[in-house]
């Protein structure tokens, strides 16, 4: 699974995003040893963060809400100790810097000298990102990733503008929010953030992340216009600029979806938090196996494969649901889930009432044995 990032070989396409696991050199080294191709530091700012307590809460085994802020360490600590130590131990360090042009000017040169290989610029305000990129481009020759947020309007246009200002790549997306989770046993918010609010990460935001990655991929591989999807006209072409697809990737199938939407590298953060750092090595092995089983040689062969089928007109069929006469295990999941009561199970055979069936497709992925198929009716 070796690949390249801005021309340099890395052990895998997995980039661990900025978060509590990369809060210092020790954590970054552990992620590197676990198989991460690169690791993004906690966001470095002028003033260390003071996090609310508690500030992380799992919604389930794959998603969580958090009020975790930027780094609790000083910028000087990152420059003098954490970055050099991680680099010395072989970590491909991506230094996250936020949230203003002034902070970019203050920290990028020192972090550059400390050995950071790439800079990821992050802001809570869309209007600040392009000025940050412009200032960084003036003071470093190293690659710049601009991180975009799903909380902004016209995210794809922001990404295009950031590239136009000098960014070498895009990270999409940041966490979603603010959101709320309530502890029903204490009748209080699950985390101690302002107003009880936090930010949503993990599997719960995957579908949204895929949408943004696909729109940005299309926009960066096409002519740009002020009209069209998310502010950018989408003429689908194979994107070439590095795009770190981040948000909700918790297994190999998620990663392949992200690659097919146009990502060149896979960003993860919630997965190793909830499953442990050891999950990274298993994730890389499973991704390698899945890509091979799908008939691809490398992640480059997978990138953007779905873009040709996106942004087209609505598909109104006609289709017809077919039971493929394979041995049915009688799990009844398709029958239970059918909202139109069109399926019945009798002696291991599914009967389809085509007058009731609306071809919604819910039953097809619900059948883990692949016995149902939605086929296009030939005209």
* Spatial contact of 303 and 343, defined as CB atoms under 8 Å apart: no
Print burial letters for 14-35: b (CB count within 10 Å at least 16), e (below 16).
Answer: bbbbbbebbbbbebbbbbbebb
Averaged over 14-31, what is the pLDDT?
98
| pLDDT of 239 over the 70 cut | no
**Predicted confidence (pLDDT) at residue 224 exceeds the cutoff of 90:** no
Cα–Cα distances in angstroms (integers) from residue 342 to residues 48, 174, 175, 362, in the given order: 59, 41, 39, 12
Top pLDDT among 355 and 311 is at 355
- CA angle (28, 31, 34) in 5-degree steps: 155
Tell whether the model's pLDDT for residue 327 goes beyond 80.
no
User: What is the token pair recorded at 308?
Assistant: 């040709």
Q: Which of 135-144, 200-209, 362-371 has the lowest mean pLDDT?
A: 362-371
The three-state DSSP-derived secondary structure of 61-76 is CCEEEECCCCCCCCHH
Least confident segment among 193-197, 211-215, 237-241, 329-333:
237-241
Pairing relation of β-strands 349-352 and 343-346?
Answer: antiparallel
Q: Specify the range with the lowest mean pLDDT, choosing from 132-146, 166-180, 232-246, 262-276.
A: 232-246
Cα(347)–Cα(289) distance, rounded to whole angstroms? Answer: 36
Distance between CA atoms of 144 and 40, rounded to whole angstroms?
Answer: 12
User: Is 234:217 a contact under the CB 8 Å cutoff?
Assistant: no
In this structure, what are the phi and psi dihedrals at residue 233, rounded to the nearest 5 degrees?
-70, 130
Residue 34 has pLDDT above 70, yes or no: yes
Q: Does residue 156 carry a pLDDT above 60?
A: yes
Predicted TM-score (pTM) above 0.75? yes
Closest CA to 148 of 136, 164, 130: 130
The per-residue pLDDT for 329 is: 86
The model's confidence at residue 225, banded by pLDDT at 50, 70 and 90, is very low
> Could you report the per-residue pLDDT of 360-379, keeping only the tens digit for each?
999 999 998 889 999 999 87
Q: Is 331 helix (H, G, I), strand (E, B) or coil?
A: coil
Q: What is the pLDDT of residues 103-128, one digit of tens each?
A: 999 999 999 999 999 999 999 999 99
DSSP string, 162-221: HHHTT-SEEEE---EEEEE-EETTTTEESS-SGGGEEEEEEGGGHHHHHHHHHHHHHHHT
Mean pLDDT, rounded, for 287-314:
92
């Amino acid at each position: 699974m070796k690949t390249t990032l801005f021309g340099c070989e890395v052990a895998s396409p997995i980039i661990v995003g900025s978060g509590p696991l990369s809060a210092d050199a020790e954590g970054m080294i552990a992620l590197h040893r676990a198989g991460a191709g690169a690791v993004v530091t906690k966001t470095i700012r002028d003033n260390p963060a003071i996090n609310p307590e508690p500030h992380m809460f799992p919604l389930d085994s794959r998603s969580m809400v958090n009020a975790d802020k930027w780094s609790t360490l000083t910028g000087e600590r990152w420059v003098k100790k954490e970055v050099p130590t991680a680099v010395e131990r072989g970590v491909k360090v991506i230094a996250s810097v936020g949230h203003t042009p002034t902070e970019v000017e203050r920290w990028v040169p020192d972090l550059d000298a400390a050995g950071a290989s790439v800079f990821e610029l992050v802001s809570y305000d869309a209007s600040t990102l392009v000025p940050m990129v412009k200032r960084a481009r003036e003071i470093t020759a190293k690659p710049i990733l601009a991180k975009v947020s799903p909380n902004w309007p016209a995210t794809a246009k922001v990404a295009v503008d950031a590239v136009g200002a000098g960014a070498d790549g895009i990270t999409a997306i940041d966490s979603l929010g603010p959101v709320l989770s309530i502890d029903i046993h204490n009748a209080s918010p699950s985390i101690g953030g302002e107003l009880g609010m936090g930010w949503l990460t993990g599997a719960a935001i995957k579908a949204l992340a895929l949408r943004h990655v696909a729109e940005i991929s299309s926009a960066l591989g096409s002519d740009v216009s002020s009209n069209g999807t998310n502010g950018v006209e989408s003429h689908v072409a194979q994107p070439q600029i590095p795009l770190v697809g981040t948000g909700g990737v918790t297994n190999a199938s998620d990663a392949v979806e992200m690659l097919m939407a146009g990502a060149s590298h896979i960003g993860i953060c919630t997965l190793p938090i909830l499953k442990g750092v050891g999950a990274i090595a298993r994730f890389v092995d499973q991704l390698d196996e899945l890509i091979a089983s799908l008939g691809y040689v490398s992640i480059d062969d997978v990138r953007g494969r779905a873009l040709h089928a996106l942004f087209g007109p609505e598909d109104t069929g006609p289709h017809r649901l077919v039971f493929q006469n394979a041995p049915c295990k009688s799990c009844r999941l398709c029958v239970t889930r059918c909202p139109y009561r069109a399926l019945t199970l009798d002696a291991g055979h599914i009967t389809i009432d085509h007058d009731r069936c609306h071809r919604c497709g819910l039953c097809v992925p619900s059948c883990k044995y692949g016995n149902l198929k939605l086929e296009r009716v030939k005209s």
